[in-house]
């Protein structure tokens, strides 16, 4: 089976490419390299550098493919608030183009990178896939809109699809070509920022007065390798037309202070940090209910926070 990985030059997409190849899949990559890195693309894969806004480039990338894993898109919450038009254009318009070209090429299997940002501030924890969707930023709104578009595509045109709603993806993957890790500029994510903290560039704890056990936010972290395992299981579960949504997290949560403690343990030295005001748009606690992915996909994440931190640390060396 040949899988087109859109966003295959990015952190999560490149990890998917490497693991798919290791498992015997043929892979094509489609990426505009706006945030991804061409040097992430494994040699030996078919690579089309192109944009989701260009239908002929998508058509070119889809040639010979049987299924699509769709990671490409804009993914920064803050940027989405400042430039909503970019997010609606690339995430929603770009995915519309992809679905149209998939239909033209008679490709009917799709795995989509959705997000827990579709839920917004949760009313009930842990969060089930049936929870209400009230995204608090354009990023979450566009992921939710794409999920709705995919549902209609499945109903109207026989697409067989799964949307995977990521909680906090972390860790790194040791590929045959070295570590694949987050390389964002600027980096906003907690684990890389904590591990890179120094007295001249001290990591900020965004809020210490949250209604949690130690006053800092709690998030559900999932290792990128476990995450890709779920994608491959989801791909293999696709049958007749339909659209299923699955949460991907660990089912548990860690506070910001607990992440700093794990990093202190991993590095063997004190991590400098500074208590700071809350960051706009952060909910206090996000924890996934992952029972649906466990039950239907037979998925079980196995890499805990210590592994996510130690792999990220190793990937910096």
Residues with active-site annotation: 139
Applying CB under 6 A, the site for ligand UDP has a residue count of 14
The Cα–Cα gap between 296 and 289 comes to 13
193 touches ligand UDP by CB under 6 A? yes
| Residue 91 binding ligand UDP, by CB under 6 A | no
Closest by alpha carbon to 109, among 228, 263, 3, 268?
3
- Does residue 248 belong to the site contacting ligand UDP (CB under 6 A)? no
User: What is the nearest approach in angstroms of ligand UDP to the Cβ of residue 46?
Assistant: 32
Question: Are 292 and 247 spatial neighbours (Cβ–Cβ below 8 Å)?
Answer: yes
CB 135 within 8 A of CB 77: no
Contact flag: residue 312 with ligand UDP (CB under 6 A): no
Q: Which is nearer to ligand UDP, 196 or 292 (CB)?
A: 196
Helix, coil or strand: residue 227: helix
Mark residues 279-298: x for contact with ligand UDP by CB under 6 A, - for none. Answer: x--x----------------
12: contact with ligand UDP by CB under 6 A = no
* C-beta nearest to ligand UDP: residue: 217
Residue 157 tokens, joined: 């045109």
Q: Which of 102, 150, 217, 297 touches ligand UDP (CB under 6 A)?
A: 217
Can the peptide bond before residue 243 be classed as cis, meaning omega within 30 degrees of 0? Answer: no
| Residue 66 C-beta: closest distance to ligand UDP, Å | 32
Rounded Cα distance between 43 and 46, Å, is 8
Contact present, 8 and 29 (Cβ < 8 Å): yes
Quick one: which of 302, 303, 304, 289 has its CA closest to 246?
Answer: 289
Question: In the bound complex, what is the minimum distance in angstroms from residue 227's beta carbon to ligand UDP?
Answer: 14
Interface residues toward ligand UDP, by CB under 6 A: 168, 188-190, 193, 203-206, 217, 219, 256, 279, 282
């Amino acid at each position: 089976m040949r899988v087109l990985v859109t966003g295959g030059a990015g952190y999560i997409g490149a990890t998917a490419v490497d693991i798919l190849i290791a498992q015997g899949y043929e892979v094509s990559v489609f990426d505009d390299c706006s945030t991804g890195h061409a040097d992430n693309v494994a040699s030996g894969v078919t690579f089309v550098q192109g944009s989701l806004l260009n239908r002929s480039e998508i058509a070119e990338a889809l040639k010979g493919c049987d299924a699509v894993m769709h990671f490409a898109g804009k993914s920064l919450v803050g940027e989405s608030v400042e430039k909503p038009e970019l997010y609606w254009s690339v995430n929603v318009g770009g995915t519309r183009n992809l679905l149209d070209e998939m239909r033209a090429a008679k490709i009917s299997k799709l795995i989509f990178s959705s997000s827990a940002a579709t839920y917004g501030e949760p009313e009930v924890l842990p969060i089930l896939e049936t929870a209400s969707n009230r995204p608090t930023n354009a990023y979450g709104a566009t992921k939710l809109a794409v999920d709705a578009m995919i549902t209609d595509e499945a109903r109207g045109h026989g697409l067989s699809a799964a949307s995977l709603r990521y909680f906090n993806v972390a860790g790194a993957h040791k590929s045959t070509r070295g570590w694949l890790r987050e390389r964002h500029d600027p980096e906003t994510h907690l684990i890389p920022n904590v591990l890179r903290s120094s007295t001249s560039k001290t990591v900020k704890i965004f809020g210490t007065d949250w209604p949690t056990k130690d006053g800092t936010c709690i998030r559900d972290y999932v290792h990128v390798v476990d995450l890709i395992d779920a994608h491959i299981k989801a791909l293999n579960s696709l049958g007749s037309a339909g659209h299923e949504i699955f949460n991907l997290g660990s089912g548990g949560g860690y506070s910001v202070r607990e992440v700093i403690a794990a990093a202190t343990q991993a590095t063997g030295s004190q991590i400098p940090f500074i208590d700071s005001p809350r960051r706009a748009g952060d909910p206090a606690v996000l924890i996934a209910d992952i029972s649906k992915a466990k039950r239907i996909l037979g998925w079980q994440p196995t890499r805990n926070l210590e592994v996510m931190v130690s792999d990220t640390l190793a990937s910096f060396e």
